[in-house]
Structure 1
Amino acid sequence: MVVGCGTQATAPPLLSVQSAQLGEQMFTPSIRVVSKLESVTDVVLKPETDGRVVRILAQQGQRVEQNQPVLVLDNVQPTAQLDASRAEARKDQINAERYIFLNDQGAVSTKERDFYITQALESRDQAKADAATLDYTVVRAPIAGVLGDLSSVKLGDFVQKGQAITGVVENGSLWSQMDVPATQQGKVKIGQKVLLTSQGSPAVTGEGRVVFISPFFSRTGSSASPNSLLVKAEFANPTGQLKSGLVVKNEIITSQSQQLAVPVQAVTMQASQPFVYRIVPLSEILPKIKASQQVPEAQKEKLTKLAAENPSQPTVIQVAVTLGPLQGNSYPLISGLPSGARVVVSNTALLRSGMPVKEMPLGSKVES
């Protein structure tokens, strides 16, 4: 090279890169599934006798207490029957008391006395049965909760015993019924934490625990996904924002561990093998560079001179690593690097092993 008088050749500037120091981070491997919520307490409201609706005492969507009246059926006939039964029971009770007295006086036989006592007991039991029948004309909430749709029943409608009128739902506690793939069922255990996120906006979140794992996989003809395992998690729902039937996203936390974390920006892939560029002092790797048959002699001389001027010159070496599944913006490091190692997180596509670089703090602006 010919240069003018007083001019010196200058080395090209070093490539600027950002670096990050490896430290530990909490990793929580998980299984992600989508499911529907189901109320832990959900009961169908059914009358226990036939009758015509004469009063509606509650409204759909209203919160009701256990045994609170919801509907009243026509009770004219049951009321008349109860009045007659009670009158009969009073008459038979008086007769029984009279024959007990006469038997004590020796005026009647024990057989006669026992007949009237039995008759009194039967009349009393019949009156109790008729009272229960009358009570059945009042359709009550079987549990405390929120009353479902009542639009199918109107005043004057005739309802039958066992007919489904509506439901009463208590959404204070909900189940998430998850179909876990068979390939991951071995990771699920009772008591594991489950994080829930609704699909609405804004999203509602919750935290529950696995409370049930099915003893068998889904069967042919069931609504569950093929070759999956039913897992139930229970969630508290104090605000009532979550509803039975809502589709939600679930994350079953299968474990927790502190591991070294590798930023996702530091990882490059070559033939499915992950690599990172570690930053080390040039003097530390110079012997290996000199011994390498793949590095040109001119490059070795250049690096030797640079190491003499600055032994701590930041230099990158490519290192193969073993990583776990990505979580957020980091991979859990299984092997390949020690704690505290510095890795390059920018301009990785422009690097090659043994290349000196200008190391910049993470977050600073670098030129590519």
Structure 2
Amino acid sequence: METELQACFAPDYASARQRFLTHCRQLGLEVRSYQNPNLGPEGEELAADTAWIGDKDARNVIVTLSATHGVEGFCGSGAQLDWMRNKGPGSLPDGIAMLIVHAINPHGFAWLRRVTEEGCDLNRNWIDFDEPHPVNPGFEALRDVLLPPELSGPLFDAAEEKIARWRAEHGETAFHVARGGGQYSHPEGMFYGGNAPTWSRRTLESIMRDYDLPQRDQIAIIDYHTGLGPFGYGEPICGNQPHTPGHKRAKNWYGQSLTEPDLGTSSSVPKVGLSEYGWTGIVGDIHTYVALEYGTYSPDAGRAALRADHWLHARGDVDWQAEETRAIKKRLKNHYYPGTPDWQEMVIFRSRMILRQAIQGLMAANP
């Protein structure tokens, strides 16, 4: 098993992409590469790569997405490769195809960032930018202290004291909404939704249309994420809104482990600008969406790691070889990808289970 894990989970974006492309060639799959206009930290090419497995005219499609949040791509890429390497392609029933979207945010994956090259959280970027942007009052109250000018010293200590007072007064849920629910006023800050559709959003919209997804009967979406919940546990978070057909299907397919932020049953809090809204806008009610969220370490450990990364990039161009950069990047990668064999094996176990449930759900919906 350890050898298999090493083959699936890559040490960096370039290696992950190469493994994906190599296995696609071995399976005889046609790959579409959506080239990102930027380069990686070592000058490497960046792209979102896609592969279709199964009947091109299949009425039912499973879509797996990795690297929505960049550095979280180590997990999703490993799970995607596991399915490809372990008889997944040969196990698809008639009428069901798989669309693998590898590294939809390749810039964040390569640069070990949670955000896109525009500094945006892709999972907060799906709003109508012609309308007034959502306002997060809690974030506005804390924006100056969530990303302080220093990571130690008096200013940092004062910022942490203000956060502690605010958390004590308003509660933990309100704090996590303020910090992570999405904001559109502070481009250098965390969980910034942007002021226009990002390259990754536009690319995913193109992928939906290029593969004729709006014309299918049913689409099951598994979007791999990390960073929330108990260590190694894969939490299927329902992306469909309550009382929609997709919401009903998700509950039937994934059972009682399915969680819902709007009902307070999830490790995640309600957020704005989620990718699911983009899917609804393009394919409508035919999709059943889960974010498969794997736990790592504590939320406060994540806040510290993410804060340091945003602080680093807010100062301007980043020297990739600098000792400070390496330390900050290592810390962020470790939070979103612990990379230990036990954690990797738990990722694979839950991924296989969710994919099997999705296939069974599609089969039951369209016997």
TM-score scaled by length of structure 2: 0.18
Which has more strand, going by share of residues? Answer: 1
**Structure having greater relative contact order (Cα 8 Å, sep ≥ 6):** 1
Which has more helix, going by share of residues? Answer: 2
**Greater radius of gyration (CA):** 1
TM-score scaled by length of structure 1: 0.18
